[in-house]
Amino acid sequence: MDAAALISGLKQGDTKSLARCISLVENNSGPCEALLFSLQHRPEIPVAGITGPPGAGKSSLVNALTHSFVASGKKVAIIAVDPTSPFNYGSLLGDRLRMSELYLTPGVFIRSMASRGSLGGLAPKIHETIDLIKNAGFDLVLIETVGVGQSEVEIAGIADTTVVVMVPEAGDEVQTMKSGVMEIADIFVVNKADREGADAFAGHLRRLSAQKHTAKWMSPVLLTEAHRNIGAAPLAEAINAHHQLNLSKEKQLDLMAEKTAHLVREALARKVQVHRIRERLSIQMAHPDFNLYRFTREILQDT
């Protein structure tokens, strides 16, 4: 299928064309550049990132949340970022079993992507995939990350709204997480709220949240039981409410700057060819005044 046909299918909402476009972009193959150059900027379509430690029930929560959005008439796309297989660098799809019923739900598109070693819990082509989905007629994009730690906060530079999912047992970890993951949350979720200590933990999170509130938004703390579909509707309402406030030019500019920087770094990385660096090093290192940092600057200037 040529680029024009793929672009036409994509913009008509054909999910097969969308899936094909994502594959081409992921692999930098075929007419991927033409596809990307054809895309419109669609900031009005919200992107919500669902993140949190492994075992917090993120997949089950995304499942329940998607059903809530679909019930309100929205078309939802899910990007599920999975750990990478050490054998073929594809995604390990174990968590996707919890979303199996969504594959047959009208108005839902699911794409699993491999993290491929990304420390932020995201996939290398996440920006491009989001833009392709936005141009395919979806009303909302949900991103589920692999799981987070203190330094793994890339999702905040991509999503309009970041939802941090935790469980009651995480109470003792909050103080160590406070300077990292706690800072990125627009919405807190205490999942598995039927467990002991959920209310007390939620109260603690609310006190922490009060320290970072702004004049327009104070991060709510919501209790859910995703496996029983309890609490998904209030979470959907909170995501909608936050996005309505989040359309400020400053926020959009911040997200676009992060996105542009990511794309520039990726483009520069593709131009850096190790074998050519090695050839130049074989000559330069013979000089008694060789300096790695001056050499690196020369490589950057020539790139």
Q: What is the pLDDT of residue 155?
A: 83
Phi, psi of 84 (to 5 degrees): -90, 135
Q: Which residues constitute the domain of residue 3?
A: 1-38
pLDDT value for 150: 43
- 8 Å CB contact between 172 and 201: no
Q: How far is CA 31 from the centre of its chain?
A: 24
Is position 186 within any domain? yes
- pTM (two decimals): 0.84
Same domain, 73 and 189: yes
Same domain, 143 and 16: no
Same domain, 190 and 290: no
- Nearest-angstrom CA–CA distance, 263 and 258: 9
Looking up residue 100, the CATH number of its domain turns out to be: 3.40.50.300
Q: Using pLDDT thresholds of 50, 70 and 90, give the confidence band for residue 149.
A: low
Which pLDDT does position 163 carry in this prediction?
94
Give yes or no for a contact between 109 and 133, defined as CB atoms under 8 angstroms apart.
yes
Q: Which of the listed ranges 10-14, 39-43, 85-89 does the model predict with the highest average pLDDT?
A: 10-14
Count the domains in the chain: 3
Residues 21 and 66 in one domain: no
The answer to whether 67 and 98 have CB atoms below 8 angstroms apart is: no
Whether 274 and 243 share a structural domain: no
In a domain, 253, yes or no: no
**According to the model, what pLDDT value does residue 259 have?**
85
Same domain for 174 and 279, yes or no, is: no
Which residue has 């476009």 as its token pair? 21
Kindly state whether residues 183 and 285 are assigned to the same domain.
no
- In this predicted model, what pLDDT tens digit does every residue of 245-303 receive, in sequence order? 865 667 778 888 888 888 888 888 888 888 889 999 999 999 999 998 899 999 888 87
**What is the average pLDDT value for the chain, to the nearest integer?**
84
State the pLDDT at residue 91.
Answer: 45
CB 64 within 8 A of CB 224: yes
One-character DSSP codes across 228-286 = GTBSHHHHHHHHHHHHHHS--HHHHHHHHHHHHHHHHHHHHHHH--HHHHHHHHHHHTT
Same domain (yes/no): 285, 191: no
What average pLDDT does range 169-184 have in this prediction? 64
The stretch 164-178 carries a mean pLDDT of 71
Q: Are residues 12 and 71 in the same domain?
A: no
Exposure string for 273-292, b = 16+ CB within 10 A, e = fewer: eeeeeeeeeeebeeeeeeee
Task: List pLDDT tens digits, range 74-119.
Answer: 999 999 887 644 334 444 454 555 566 787 788 999 998 876 555 4
Least confident residue range of 2-16, 82-96, 195-209, 228-242: 82-96
73 and 203 part of one domain? yes
Given this model, what pLDDT does residue 85 score? 43
Do 52 and 153 have their domain in common?
yes
For helices 3-11 and 15-26, the axis angle rounded to 10 degrees is 130
pLDDT for residue 88: 40
Q: Are residues 243 and 170 in the same domain?
A: yes
Task: From residue 123, give the alpha-carbon distance in Å to each of 43, 53, 129, 247, 294.
Answer: 21, 17, 10, 25, 32
